[in-house]
């Protein structure tokens, strides 16, 4: 059985499985208006961006379900390579891991890597063709735009330095709630930003 290494898909699955997740992501009840701290608006902007992304993704997911009955399952963009079900940067990471193993045939790994990338390109192309045939290409484009906007909002928030203890507490609480869904890049950045902010406050 292939090992699934695809965190984004897992995260989306968890989000869509629970209707109570979005309310749980609301920031703590702190009077943001009375605090001269930019982190409150950054958190709120991400919360709204996150909700918009989930709404668009659910619309896309429902459309895919309806199209599947007539056109079959959309080709996955993931490929299998030595027991792993992966895609995107995960293929490059797998290459590095294999090349780091002792006694490995490096030329063989490179041949397999190029084949994996070629198979991924073919899968992506097949997925695009499926979207066009089913007519849901515009929905996927909208979902992708919303996903990119959510990512930008998350990274902006993660790098926004709280100016008050209340703001630092709000960011940590928000990160902890999001960790209930899954791990993302911005969580560690946000916690590091909070640590730096608290250290500067104590000086």
d(CA 43, CA 26): 9
For residue 168, tell me if it sits in a domain: yes
**Crossing angle for the helix pair 106-134 and 89-99, nearest 10 degrees?**
170
For residue 11, tell me if it sits in a domain: no
Instruction: Supply the pTM of this predicted model.
Output: 0.75
For residue 100, tell me if it sits in a domain: yes
d(CA 78, CA 119): 9
For residue 147, tell me if it sits in a domain: yes
Residue-wise over 154-163: b if at least 16 C-beta within 10 A, else e?
bbebbebbbb
For residue 64, tell me if it sits in a domain: yes
Which pLDDT value is given to residue 20? 42
Structural domain boundaries enclosing 31:
25-202
d(CA 156, CA 43): 9
- Number of separate domains in the chain: 1
139 Cβ contact partners less than 8 Å away, ≥ 6 residues apart: 56, 59, 60, 63
**Cβ atoms of 120 and 87 closer than 8 Å:** yes
pLDDT in tens, the chain (203 residues): 555 444 455 555 556 554 444 444 444 444 444 558 999 999 999 999 999 999 999 999 999 999 999 999 999 999 999 999 999 999 999 999 999 999 999 999 999 999 999 999 999 999 999 999 999 999 999 999 999 999 999 999 999 999 999 999 999 999 999 999 888 999 999 999 999 999 998 75
**Crossing angle for the helix pair 7-17 and 39-71, nearest 10 degrees?**
90
For residue 7, tell me if it sits in a domain: no
Which pLDDT value is given to residue 30? 47
Which of 41, 64, 58 has the alpha carbon at shortest distance from 174? 41
For residue 94, tell me if it sits in a domain: yes
Phi, psi of 82 (to 5 degrees): 50, 50
For residue 10, tell me if it sits in a domain: no
Which pLDDT value is given to residue 10? 56
* SS3 of residue 102 by DSSP: coil
């Amino acid at each position: 059985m292939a090992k699934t290494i695809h965190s984004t898909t897992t995260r989306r699955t968890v989000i869509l499985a629970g209707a109570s997740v979005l309310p749980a992501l609301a920031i703590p009840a702190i009077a943001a208006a009375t605090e001269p701290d930019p982190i409150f608006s950054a958190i709120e902007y991400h919360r709204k961006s996150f909700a918009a992304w989930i709404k668009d993704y659910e619309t896309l997911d429902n459309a895919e379900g309806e199209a599947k009955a007539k056109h079959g399952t959309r080709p996955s963009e993931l490929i299998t390579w030595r027991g792993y079900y992966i895609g995107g940067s995960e293929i490059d990471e797998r290459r590095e891991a294999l090349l780091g193993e002792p006694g490995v045939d490096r030329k063989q790994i490179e041949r397999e890597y190029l084949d994996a990338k070629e198979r991924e390109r073919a899968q992506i192309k097949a997925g695009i063709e499926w979207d066009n045939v089913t007519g849901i290409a515009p929905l996927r484009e909208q979902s992708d735009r919303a996903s990119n906007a959510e990512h930008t909002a998350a990274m902006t928030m993660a790098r926004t330095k709280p100016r008050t203890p209340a703001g630092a507490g709000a960011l940590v609480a928000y990160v902890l709630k999001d960790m209930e869904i899954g791990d993302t890049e911005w969580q560690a950045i946000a916690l590091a930003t909070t640590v730096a902010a608290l250290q500067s406050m104590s000086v």
